[in-house]
């Protein structure tokens, strides 16, 4: 993978960092001159992944969340969100629309659906007891199109 630019950061799983992560992503991707819609889509997808790490991954505990933001050739944005939390036993099931393990907390099971539809590519790797890594990519529309 040819990487044109990259930022890595790590933060504790505090809910206040949901907006901090979005702000960092905005700051990083403005260099690729995204449309308002593209920026909003990417911010929303990142917010979902970070919130999942906090709400589910580190449920009842706390830990660190590692983010990698990359600018790839052809105006492609790459984002990786990793937690060292509880992990997901059945990733395929977890990714089904409306599947949630926390309905009593007003979760609706739509986070992965949002990531999937707002980004071009989504991959989720997880191991129970070890954590979860969400990788997403989105190609920004060519300038002038």
Ligand X SMILES: Nc1ncnc2c1ncn2[C@@H]1O[C@H](COP(=O)(O)OP(=O)(O)OP(=O)(O)O)[C@@H](O)[C@H]1O
By CB under 6 A, residue 13 contacts ligand X: no
Query: What is the rounded CA–CA span in Å between residue 138 and residue 145?
Result: 16
Segment near ligand X (CB under 6 A), from 16-24, 26-34, 50-58, 68-76? 50-58
* Token pair 């990531």: residue: 115
Is 138 within 8 Å of 41 (Cβ atoms)?
yes
48-87 footprint of other proteins as x/- string (CB under 8 A): x--x--xx--------------------------------
| Residue 17 annotated in active site | no
Query: What is the rounded CA–CA span in Å between residue 107 and residue 128?
Result: 21
**CA-atom Rg of the chain in angstroms:** 15
Say which of 22, 107, 125, 137 is annotated catalytic. Answer: 107
Q: Rounded to whole angstroms, what are the CA distances from 60 to 11, 30, 55, 134?
A: 17, 35, 9, 21
Among residues 79, 77, 80, 81, the alpha carbon closest in space to that of 138 is found at 77
By CB under 5 A, residue 85 contacts Mg ion: no
**Residues 24-83 within binding reach of Mg ion (CB under 5 A):** 52
Residues at the site binding other proteins, with contacts judged by CB under 8 A: 15-16, 18-19, 22, 36-37, 40-41, 43-44, 47-48, 51, 54-55, 105-108, 110-111, 113-114, 117-118
Residues forming contacts to ligand X in the complex (CB under 6 A) are 48, 52-53, 56-57, 83, 85-88, 94, 99-102, 107-112, 132
């Amino acid at each position: 993978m040819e990487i044109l630019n990259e930022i890595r950061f790590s933060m504790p799983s505090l809910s206040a960092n949901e907006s901090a992560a979005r702000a960092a992503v905005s700051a990083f991707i403005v260099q690729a001159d995204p449309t308002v819609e593209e920026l909003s889509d990417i911010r929303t997808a990142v917010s979902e992944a970070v919130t999942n790490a906090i709400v589910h991954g580190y449920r009842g505990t706390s830990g660190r969340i590692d983010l990698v933001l990359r600018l790839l050739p052809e105006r492609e944005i790459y984002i990786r969100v990793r937690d060292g939390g509880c992990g997901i036993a059945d990733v395929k099931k977890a990714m089904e629309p409306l599947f949630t393990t926390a309905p009593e907390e007003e979760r609706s099971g739509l986070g992965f659906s949002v990531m999937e539809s707002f980004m071009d590519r989504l991959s989720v790797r997880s191991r129970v007891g070890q954590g979860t890594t969400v990788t997403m990519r989105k190609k920004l529309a060519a300038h002038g199109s």
